[in-house]
Amino acid sequence: MIVHRSSLLVAVSLPRLMVVMAVAAVGLTAVPASAQAPATEAGPETRVFTIADRGFSLQAPAGWQRVQPKSGIVETEFAIPSEGAAADGTPAQPGRMTVMGAGGTVQANIDRWYGQFVQPDGSETKTKATTKKLDLAGCKVTLVDIPGTYKDSPGGPFAGGRAVERPDYRMLAAIVETPDRGNHFLKFYGPAKTVAAHADGFRTMVEGMVAAGK
């Protein structure tokens, strides 16, 4: 029997071709670790953030997810897992914490925040709110706690547009007065149940602020 060389080459090449195709298929389905979806819970390294041109470091609570800021003036933003359900039975909105530097006096900013809330009983918001002064890492820090119906501005506080009223909301905020780098603001707001569930974590984060590098 005569076997042509070309036929022999084809016979020998077919198994090798099948191996190459199999390897290629595996390569197409494999997803590099860097391209995989991020974990639902941020690790310690992604929860650490800085303020005041990296002058001070803080760490967000476990379970808070660092996200892309929705506004250009926000330096750092976290989404906070929701607690309970809304009045219509749907899952409650997640909380939101934004970090940014801004001008204006401490009291002027607090008054502006009061204006972002209305009270169901018609009383003045400042009568429902509380403030507290702390000295942390060489900075004066003012903690603010405001409940009520929040007049949300989805595009940001200075973007204009129609506000969306969100009943039974609450805001926890910290104004950090640095010695030489201006004022910086941490605002955590959302449904009252969500904020209540994470209030201790927010305060622990603020009280744990340290000068960067320490």
Contact (CB, 8 A) for 186 and 206:
yes
- Residues 6 or more apart whose Cβ sits within 8 Å of residue 36: none
Using CA atoms in the order 111, 114, 115, 120, what is the torsion angle rounded to 10 degrees?
Answer: -160
pLDDT value of residue 131? 98
pLDDT value of residue 33? 31
Q: Each residue's pLDDT tens digit in the chain (214 positions)?
A: 444 444 433 343 434 434 333 333 333 333 333 333 333 445 677 899 999 999 999 999 999 999 999 889 999 999 999 987 777 778 888 999 999 999 999 999 999 999 999 999 999 999 999 999 999 999 999 999 999 999 987 665 555 567 889 999 999 999 999 999 999 999 999 999 999 999 999 999 999 999 987 6
